[in-house]
Chains A and B, each alone.
Chain A
């Protein structure tokens, strides 16, 4: 059995990564909007984002919109790949048909 990526294989972080994967490649979303989409508290979301950032799966950048600072969050190339591999692994667990055909 394939080892599932422990960084993504946690409900809250899986939701974060799945949401970010729905953005187009090269896009980032403002922290409060992501928080609203996920219905998570700011503190909770920050903790999970930190773990994902430490793994190199999300990129967090700070900019200014006018005079207010804004935090932008997006999936890194590596994070997108990790999410795709995780989803593949889950699908393989649910439908192991292709491996049955092998001798």
Chain B
């Protein structure tokens, strides 16, 4: 997987194409070469934003959507689904979104190290440790709550943490799309929490999941503009 040690390259000088040591034919050719090379590299090292956003949007839309349909306000089931189904679907889709994100990121950034890699790593730690520490406390409390309030506590906390970490990510990378998405998620979480048990998953599914899908489309558009030669 690694290149030859630089110290052995003297033996390979014979393979060098003598022509590519020549200067570009003119200034226009040089500028075109610079622009093409930079945009080609950026395209390869910057994964398609849709792959990073959309799987999460689908997970929220479908997962929280099913939760609303099964546990609607007033302890009604709008659709007679088995009670284990909504959460199972939500967790499976979240795990799938996490897997897609991991694979896409490793393929794009896997061979780049330095400051960016360190930022990504620390940001990942914030997600992992932040989730564990928050949920450990929730687990202790929610067992003493009725089902609907426990569900609200869990989802409002999880969505709130997600919103805050998205905003933090936007600050780390100066990424407007990520920051605005975090802002949006935080606001709709507030709306959902005030709307109360039963309504929160509907708000999160439609406005949250939909918001992530829109943010992904906007991030993709900005990415294409950036990558134009």
Is there contact, CB below 8 Å, between B22 and A10?
Answer: yes
Taking the complex as formed, is A45 at the interface, i.e. its CB lies under 8 A from any CB of chain B? yes
A72 to B113, CA, bound (A): 8
A-B contact sample (10 more), CB < 8 A, given A11-B20, A27-B112, A35-B3: A9-B24, A11-B21, A11-B33, A18-B34, A22-B42, A23-B41, A31-B2, A68-B1, A93-B27, A94-B27
Query: Which A residue sits closest to B21, measured CB to CB?
Result: A10
Q: Which residues from A are CB-within-8-Å of B1?
A: 30, 32, 68, 70
Cβ–Cβ < 8 Å partners of A10 in chain B: 20-23
A27 and B117 within 8 A (CB): yes
> Which residue in chain A gives the minimum CB-CB distance to B20?
A12
The number of residues on chain B lying at the interface, defined by a beta carbon within 8 Å of a beta carbon of chain A, is 37
Q: Is the CB of B31 within 8 A of A46?
A: no
A103 contacts the other chain (CB 8 A): no
Main secondary structure of the interface of A (DSSP, over half): helix
**Best-surrounded residue of B9, B21, B111, B117 (most CB of chain A within 10 A):** B111
> Is B225's CB within 8 Å of the partner chain A?
no
A residues contacting the other copy or chain, number (CB 8 A): 47
Contact B33 A14 (CB under 8 A): yes
Partner of B113, one of A28, A32, A45, A60: A28
A-B contact pairs, 7 of them (CB 8 A): A9-B24, A26-B114, A41-B15, A44-B12, A45-B3, A46-B12, A49-B6
Q: Is B2 touching A44 in the complex (CB atoms < 8 A)? A: no
Name the residue of chain A whose CB is nearest to the CB of B44: A37
Distance to closest chain B CB from A89 (angstroms): 9
CB of B74 within 8 A of chain A?
no
Docked complex Cα distance between A42 and B3 (Å): 6
Question: Bound state CA distance, A12 and B6, in angstroms?
Answer: 17
Chain A neighbourhood of B5, CB < 8 A: 62, 69, 71
Minimum Cβ distance to chain A for residue B123 (Å)? 15
CA distance A60 to B41 in the complex (A): 19
Question: Max chain B CB contacts within 10 Å: which of A25, A27, A69, A70?
Answer: A27
Min CB distance A82 to B, Å, is 13
CB distance from A72 to the nearest CB of B (A): 6
Q: Are B20 and A44 in contact (CB under 8 A)?
A: yes
10 nearest CB pairs, A to B: A43-B12, A31-B3, A33-B111, A26-B115, A46-B9, A27-B114, A12-B20, A18-B37, A22-B41, A30-B111
